[in-house]
Amino acid sequence: MNASTAKLTAIRGRWALAAIFLANGFLTGSWAPQIPVFLTRLEISKFTLGLLILLFGVGAVVAMTWCGHLISRHGSRTVLRWFALCGSLGLMVVALAPNVPLAAAAMIIFGGSIGGMDVAMNANAVVVERRLSRAVMSSSHGFWSLGGFAGGGLGGFAIQHYGHLAHAAAVTVFAFAVIAVAVRHLLTEDSPQAAEHHKFALPANPLVYLIGLMALLAMISEGAVLDWAALYLRQELGADLAVAGLAYAGFSGVMAITRFFGDGIRNRFGAVTTLRVSALVAAVGMLVAGLAPSPWLAIAAFAFCGFGIANMVPIIFSAGGNQEGMSSGTGMSVVTTIGYCGILVAPSAIGFVAEHSSFGPIFITMSGLLIIVLLMAGLAHRAEFAPAPAE
């Protein structure tokens, strides 16, 4: 393969990967406006809903744990292909579940396919970065946020006018079509990764766990908006389904736009400064959302929060992958595993709290967690040595 053909193949693989990120975000964003319907049609409490969301997280974490081993044996392209095709069907399985036991199984399947897809597509992004010799991670996550924006923004309208099953069917057809085309053009590793796959061992450096804690606090906030913002607007601020879906859509839309400029912002102002300002902006947005007296102010506040959250996770991941005394893969695995618990598992605890309180104080508490990230931002100084996050 000559140089020009290799470059064309790499570029095609880069855009195929962007489509996969978009599809994953679209599936995740489309789940957000389904949540209020899920709650009412199964006639369950917020606590039970929280447990079902916990099962989504359990499925995702188990799949993510397996993914590293699968990728080392079969490569990220193969693993991503199967998880992505299964993931495209996940929302439909959840929407069809007629009772709580089957809904629990559906949530595990949905969470496992989305979680495995997430790890495999991030691993494939590293392949693309190496082949192109430039960063694509931040913009790839931008496509994920763009998909979340579209899924959340269109979902509430579609459900209100056509019903939750028609919405889930349309999402499934779109996601499957995008993924089926994209997986054909994904890049493969230059060489097998098995030699790089070691037995599990916890790193001795405590700093990597503190970086993981920062990722956890940032992603708890992201998970709270994904899983509970629509219900907050619907039940406590009196919004209809179409308006309630705009909470996550606004959050994801602003986050997507910001992530496309993320590498340039960080290169200009530095990782630590960017992280501090981002955490402050996100904290202010979350605080205003928790205090908002109207749905539209809450939507604007969640969008402002997305502007801050956008660059936090890529910077924190970059810091985790650039720790001294350990491989980038080891540091990254610790930080991402701890961090993803925030977006996949922690929101279930919010359901328990909301059952005995309300969502306003919960979002105010999220603001406090983001202030902790601001105070810990100096620990991300290792990200100054890397132009973009790698995973």
- Structure tokens given for 168: 């889930």
**Which pairs with CB-CB distance under 8 Å and at least 24 residues apart come from 338-341?**
338/209, 338/212, 338/213, 338/215, 338/216, 339/212, 339/215, 339/216, 339/218, 339/219, 339/313, 340/60, 340/61, 340/64, 340/115, 340/118, 340/219, 341/57, 341/61, 341/216, 341/219
- Structure tokens given for 255: 């986050």
pLDDT for the residue 269: 86
What string of DSSP letters covers 40-98?
Answer: HHTT--HHHHHHHHHHHHHHHHHHHHHHHHHHHHH-HHHHHHHHHHHHTTHHHHHHH--
Cα 99 to Cα 28: distance, rounded to the nearest angstrom: 22
Q: How many helices (H) and strands (E) does the chain have?
A: 17, 0
Taking only the tens of pLDDT, the chain with its 391 residues reads: 566 777 788 888 999 999 999 999 999 889 888 888 888 888 888 788 878 888 888 888 888 777 767 777 787 888 899 999 999 999 999 999 999 999 999 999 999 999 888 878 877 877 787 787 766 777 888 898 888 888 888 888 899 889 999 999 999 999 999 999 999 989 887 654 444 444 545 666 788 899 989 999 998 888 888 778 888 888 888 888 788 888 888 887 888 888 888 877 877 888 899 999 999 999 999 999 999 989 999 999 999 999 999 889 878 877 776 677 665 556 666 777 788 777 666 666 777 777 777 888 889 999 999 999 999 999 988 766 444 443 3
pLDDT for the residue 107: 94
Determine contact, residues 388/319, Cβ cutoff 8 Å.
no
State pTM to two decimals.
0.74
Helix, strand, or coil (residue 387): coil
Q: Could you say which DSSP state residue 99 is in?
A: S
- Structure tokens given for 222: 């992201």
- Looking up tokens 């790890």 gives 119
pLDDT for the residue 105: 95
pLDDT for the residue 193: 46
Cα 327 to Cα 334: distance, rounded to the nearest angstrom: 11
- Structure tokens given for 388: 């973009």
Beta-carbon contacts of residue 203 (< 8 Å; ≥ 6 apart):
323, 325, 326, 330, 331, 334
pLDDT for the residue 383: 67
